[in-house]
Structure 1
Amino acid sequence: MTSVRRYHLAAAACAAFLAFPAHATTEIQWWHSMGGALGEWVNDLAKEFNASQTEYKVVPTFKGSYDESMTAAIAAFRAGNAPDILQVFEVGTATMMASKGAIKPVAEVMKMAGASFDPKAYVPAVAGYYTAPNGQMLSFPFNSSTTVFHYNKDAFKAAGLDPDKPPKTWPEVAAAAAKLKTAGHKCPFTTSWISWTQLESFSTWHNVLFATQNNGFGGLGARMAVNTPLHERHLQNLANMAQQGLFVYKGRNNAADATFVSGECAMITGSSGLYGNVKRNAKFAAGISTLPYYPDVPGAPQNTVIGGASLWVMNGKKPEVYKGVGQFFAYLSKPEVAAASHQRTGYLPVTIAAYELTEKSGYYKQNPGTDVAVQQMIRKTTDKSRGIRLGNFVQIRTIIDEETEGLWSGKKTVKEVLGNITKRGNEQLERFQKANGG
């Protein structure tokens, strides 16, 4: 056969192949707020899912901080080009729940995909937070965290503290901070997420309310409940520590995390999700312990509240997109996938099976402290500690940041700060209630 004839046959075969439409891959746009090591984790999850099948391709896109990605998604939804999946931090949950036309409940999406879905398979404290009053799960638990206490074991040793005995109570934290300062530490203790760690989780950990109506779970009429002697005592203690150089405020949101990872600050209250960053980048031995508490408060410690984020599915998409999203969520729920994510990041295992698989593997024994977040969350919750779900919560957190910054700088008193948080927070809650027909 001549090369010319061979060429014509090949061209004919190619044309015949192109005449039949190839099976199109359905793209799924996923907007998220995971940077650094966590961004790599998100990209790897998408790659692994995409490699596991040929029908769907998940495309993750970093959209800035949680606040920024939520704002961008709302604007995109109004313009008719919202992503298919949106990662929303827990503070935005009540707002998303109220946006009925904007979202497709995850339970419906899983049904459309023909994927088996049992809300009881998920860690109850996690699933319950993202479940509507009618029992329908609205979003998919993805990177759920809780507040924990991270500390630098090497710094403890150098200050003459026992690296295997982290402080469990707030008086012990102050005592450890004083020893660290004497040993030359410029930043003995810091915290990220002031509202989440020092008011929200602080409240549930001590089994007291952060807001009325069981922290918003009971309805839209919730109002702030932090103007109490216990909250005043705690903020006054932190203010005293700030004046003595024992507590150093490092900024809003998770700005303080970098100062712990670098070794600048020796102790931090923050997210369990910081573990992945510490494990990968810290040049010292680190430990994880439970959130500190006041031992004389009845009912303490109780349980901490959820943090992190969940995945919301946006409305108005084609059926094949929902099928793909459902398949992706089913993939993320596989025990081996969920267990690997938990171990890599420090976020909670989203399913009970993932927790059990991790425990059986001996991971918790080999990595002491990595089960602290799980243990804090799986304690029996009360009506006061189930979680906090408020409208305009993002704005309320900003108010708390603004007011407490006046406290750390010595410009405001604790009474002023708690009074202002209550007044300004209630204005936001009233606004949300009116806007949503409450």
Structure 2
Amino acid sequence: MENMERRRFLGMTASGVAGAAGLTSLSGCGAGSGSGDVTLKLVAADYGDPGGNNSSETYWKSLADAFTKKNPGIQVEVTVHSWNVIGKKLNEMVESGNVPDMAQLDSYANWAAEGRLYKVSELLPIPAQAAFLVPLAEAGEVRRVQYGLPFVASTRLLFYNKSLFAKAGLDPDSPPKSWEDLKTAAKALKAAGVKIPYGLPLGPEEAQSEADMWMISNGGSYVDGVGNYTINSPRNIEAFTWLRDNLVAPGLTNPRPDRTNRQDLFDAFGRGEVGMLNGHPTLMPQADRHSVQYGTGKLPGKGGAADGTLGVADWMMAFKENGHRVECGKFLSFVYQEKNHYAFADRYDLMPVTIATTERMRRDPRHKELWRFLDRLNGAEFFPVGKVSWATINTELKTTIGKAALKGADPKAVLSGLQRKAEAADKKAER
């Protein structure tokens, strides 16, 4: 049986779930500060793309103003950071004692294990807790207690530029299905003068995601079925060795993938400079703004299209330090009201995390293109965010794992070094 650390989406429905109306009430939350004027501080990640005029700061300011209008005694100050730096910034804040009231990030378990976070049951009433998609809510648990509130989710598909495919003599309606197909297409794109046949973002922004997709495409993963790290498994080593020898060494990717960030390649895709890359839903509106004719397909696997894909969930959490439990609960309930949660998911073409909002997106024909990503949730594999050591290893992966794919690199040595650090971090977390 799969455990909490290596979760696969097994469905999109749950029984006994109250609707979004349950998110508007805070009865049963218990005592807290709850009196006088309070200013809550929230640190959040930016989902916008540079030059797109869609920074998340705009969304949060509007939401904070609307919340304060309904709750005059509570102000909300939001600081938005790019994904490149938010983890580092938040760690520095916590370590220096300048702890925010709430944060929205891609990990939470280390702070939960240190006793810094409120339990979800201390923030939201039962109907509000029950409104989340069950597997995502469970993925927010550390040692069977939920501390992380899922914020948005996404899955990954292979994107390709149809115009560049046609220019290279490739079928614009047939994405590559296997690694060999991918290599063949990349060679043809390079011969046709395409600047970056395959975009490989293994830089510090999101190296852990691109790396995991290559592992998944060969039946590998960061952890096994019982939650033990398997970073240097034979399947993972094989995936990076193939990537090194068949795409990176022949010059079919961007130079120095270990220094290339995802957003840089998304921007290049919008400029028509990238033939193929793995992407999430926010790449769609960016490509549309630049009139890029693109197609999508399943992740290419060793012997054919991969069965699984990467699923990513980001998390909201509330810190105890400032004692604003009741106020945090009120604001978080407001954030997850259907209209507010849907507004964010709609703005960035991401997948919502509550049942009611997901069903609404399924009914919205404007999001027909997003349905293909929703379909991939069934079977998607998520990072082991419930492991206390994950935040430490996630940071290490971002700066190190890209080196395993470089020309002349030793994938086994790089992955084994990460494995040793992961095992050491795991032991430390268990003390």
Q: For the superposition of Structure 1 and Structure 2, which TM-score range results when normalised by the shorter chain?
A: 0.7 to 0.9
Q: 1:49 to 1:31 in 2, by over 3 A?
A: closer
Confirm or deny that 1:180 pairs with 2:189.
yes
Alpha-carbon distance, 1:334 to partner: 2.7
Q: Answer yes or no: is the 8 Å Cα contact 1:125–1:378 preserved in 2.
A: no
Q: In the alignment, does 2:414 pair up with 1:388? A: no
Give per-residue Cα distances to partners, 1:43-66, cap 9 Å, x unaligned: 324413522524333221124545
Counterpart amino acid of 1:28?
L
What is the percentage of aligned positions where both structures have the same residue?
A: 18
Name the counterpart of 2:408.
411
Provide the TM-score with structure 2 as the length reference. Answer: 0.77
Asked if structure 2 preserves the Cα contact closer than 8 Å seen for 1:145 and 1:306, the reply is: yes
Q: Does 1:118 align with 2:109?
A: no
Q: CA 1:426–1:327 in 2, change beyond 3 Å: closer, same or farther? A: same
Shift of 1:163: 3.2
> Does the aligned pair in 2 maintain the 1:34–1:42 contact within 8 Å?
yes
| Shift of residue 353, structure 1, vs aligned partner | 1.7
2:110 to 69, 77, 95: 95
Whether the 8 Å CA contact 1:84–1:314 is kept in 2: the answer is yes
1:140 and 1:329 in contact (8 A); partners too: no
2:121 counterpart of 1:107 = yes
Q: Find the aligned partners of 1:259 and 1:242 in 2 and give their Cα distance.
A: 18
Quote the residue 1:371 is aligned against. Answer: 371
Structure of higher CA gyration radius: 1
Contact map agreement 1:276 1:344 (CA 8 A) in 2: no
Equivalent residue number for residue 10 of structure 2: none
SS of 2:350's partner is coil
Aligned partner of 1:292 in structure 2 is 300
- State the one-letter code of the partner of 2:284: Y
Give the counterpart letter for 1:430 in structure 2.
A
Q: Secondary structure of the residue that 2:331 maps to in structure 1?
A: helix
Q: Is the 8 A contact 1:224 1:425 kept in 2?
A: yes
Q: Give unmatched runs, 5+ long, in structure 2.
A: 1-34
SS in 2 for 1:272: coil
Quote the offset at 1:306 in angstroms. 1.9
Q: In structure 1, what is the Cα distance between the partners aligned to 2:137 and 2:215?
A: 21
Q: 305, 321, 325: which one pairs with 1:322? A: 325
Structure 1 partner of 2:359:
356
TM-score (norm 1): 0.76
Which range moves more in the overlay, 233-242 or 80-89?
233-242
Distance 1:149 1:336 in 2: 31
Alignment pair present for 1:27 and 2:39: yes
1:289 Cα deviation after fit = 3.1
Q: How far does the alpha carbon of each residue in 1:255-297 deviate from its partner, in whole angstroms, 9 at most, with x for none?
A: 4332223322121113334334334x43422333332223369
Shift of the 282–124 alpha-carbon distance from structure 1 to 2, 3 Å rule, reads farther
What's the RMSD between the two structures over aligned residues? 3.2
Unaligned runs of at least 5 residues, structure 1: 1-22, 217-221
Give matches, 1:10-49, under 5 Å: 26-34=38-46, 36-37=48-49, 40-49=55-64
Q: Relative to structure 2, which stretch is displaced further, 77-86 or 397-406?
A: 397-406
Matches within 5 A, 1:166-245: 166-193=175-202, 195-204=207-216, 207-212=219-224, 214=226, 216=227, 222-229=228-235, 231-233=237-239, 235-245=241-251
Match of 1:133 among 143, 158, 173: 143
Give the superposition deviation at 1:185: 0.4
Aligned residues of 1:204 and 1:305 also touching (Cα < 8 A): no
2: CA distance, partners of 1:151 / 1:63: 29
**Cα deviations across residues 133-182 of structure 1 (Å, max 9, x unaligned)?**
32x32112123233322222332233333333322332222222222222
Measure the CA separation in 2 of the matches of 1:161 and 1:361.
Answer: 33
Instruction: Write the distance in 2 (CA, Å) between the matches of 1:334 and 1:312.
Output: 17
Structure 1 counterpart of 2:43, one-letter code:
W
Q: Aligned partner of 1:85: which letter?
A: M
**Larger RCO: 1 or 2 (CA < 8 Å, sep 6+):** 2
Instruction: Show the counterpart of 2:100.
Output: 83
CA distance in 2, matches of 1:77, 1:386: 26
CA contact (8 A) 1:261 1:277 kept: yes
Q: Distance in 2 between matches of 1:403 and 1:317?
A: 37
Letter in 2 for 1:411: G
